[in-house]
Amino acid sequence: MAALNNEPLPDWTRWSIGLLLVGLLVCYAPTYYTFAHTVWLKDEAGHGPMILALSLWLMWRDRQKFLDLRSQPNPVFGLLVLLSAALMYVVGRSQGIDALEAFSNIMAIMACLLLVKGWAGVRLFWFPLFFLIFVIPLPGVVAQALTLPLKAAVSYCAEAILYAAGYPIGRSGVTLVVGPYKLLVADACSGLNSIFTLESLSLFYMKLMDYTSARRNTILAIMILPISFVSNTVRVMVLVLVTYHLGDEVGQGFVHNLAGLVLFSVALMLTYGLDRILAVFYDKHEQSSHH
């Protein structure tokens, strides 16, 4: 662990931190302004502002720890990373490659940490840097490739469960037919956006809880995937049932938007329940390790 230095920061350190922060703001404020009016308006990337805000908050929370680190700058590697970030930014910005432009921001922050405090600064802020990966917009080709099988799987499970419950339901591809109504499982109902949102929130939850067991954290992170799928299947089933019992206007009206709350409520309950089960096996071990 890096030694702490309680002496006041030299003026050059304060100036360098200030200049680097101003540089980041000047470069990336236009990026996120553009994202706010384009990428973040889409369902699959709507969690972007939340992830950015939480990452910045985590860095702000640990700012004193960062300032207290002994300064061991790594200018060579820091400048190499900064140059790579600049090249990615120029290409991404000029060619409209959102993923490359967003990733360059992570590289630029890492470079600033290396230039000011060295690898100790990167180690301190490794989680906010990793967390920012969820801000990177998923390329359209990848999103489409993942969306199609997810929609098919959700449609299949919803139909199988409701049919077993006695409802007059059938399926053709991703179209569900229940009674006189036809419901198309749209891209937004595939669950892809909820998977990324819930995965990021679970990682943030684990960070706040400060679990020390790598196995516990891994289980939670992996299980978010099936939890997201189950929650989204429940969401589709709720919409089908509302449409069948109350009509198409109700099912496609405010209830359709309300179903998103159902999804996250189910996901949060399942995640918390899983965490409590894991607590039976890991809490005592983690408490003893802290001592």
Residues annotated as catalytic are 189, 235
Of the candidates 211, 227, 195, which has an alpha carbon nearest to the alpha carbon of residue 283?
Answer: 211
The answer to whether 106 touches 132, Cβ cutoff 8 Å, is: yes
Rounded-to-integer distance, Cα 288 and Cα 291, Å:
5
Q: Residue 156 to residues 69, 175, 176, 221: CA-CA distances in angstroms?
A: 54, 10, 9, 25
Q: Residue 285 to residues 211, 217, 272, 290: CA-CA distances in angstroms?
A: 11, 14, 19, 9
Exposure string for 208-242, b = 16+ CB within 10 A, e = fewer? eeebebeebbebbeebbeebbbbbbbbbbbbbbbb
Task: Collect all residues with Cβ–Cβ distance below 8 Å to 159 and sequence separation of at least 6.
Answer: 169, 170, 171, 176
Burial class (CB in 10 A: 0-12, 13-18, 19+), 72: middle
Q: How many CB atoms lie within 10 A of CB 67?
A: 17
Residue type, 5: N
The alpha carbon dihedral of 120, 121, 125, 129 has a sign of negative
